[in-house]
Amino acid sequence: MEKSLKTAGLARFGEEEAGRFLRNQGYRILERNFRTAKGEIDIIAGSGKMIVFAEVKTRSSANFAQPWEAVGFRKRKHLREAAKIYIEQNGIHEFEFRFDVLSIVVNETQQAEIEWIQDAF
CATH code of 53's domain: 3.40.1350.10
DSSP lists the bridge partners of residue 32 as 43
Work out the end-to-end distance of the chain between its first and last CA atoms, rounded to an integer number of angstroms. 32
| pLDDT for residue 70 | 87
What's the pTM?
A: 0.87
pLDDT of amino acid 5: 54
pLDDT along the chain (121 residues), means of 10: 55 95 98 95 97 95 81 95 97 96 91 95 91
Q: For residue 84, what are the domain limits?
A: 2-117
User: Number of folded domains in the chain?
Assistant: 1
**Cβ partners under 8 Å of residue 6, min gap 6:** none
State how far the Cα of 98 lies from the Cα of 118, in Å rounded to an integer: 8
The pLDDT score that the predictor gives to residue 109 is 85
- Give the model's pLDDT for residue 1: 45
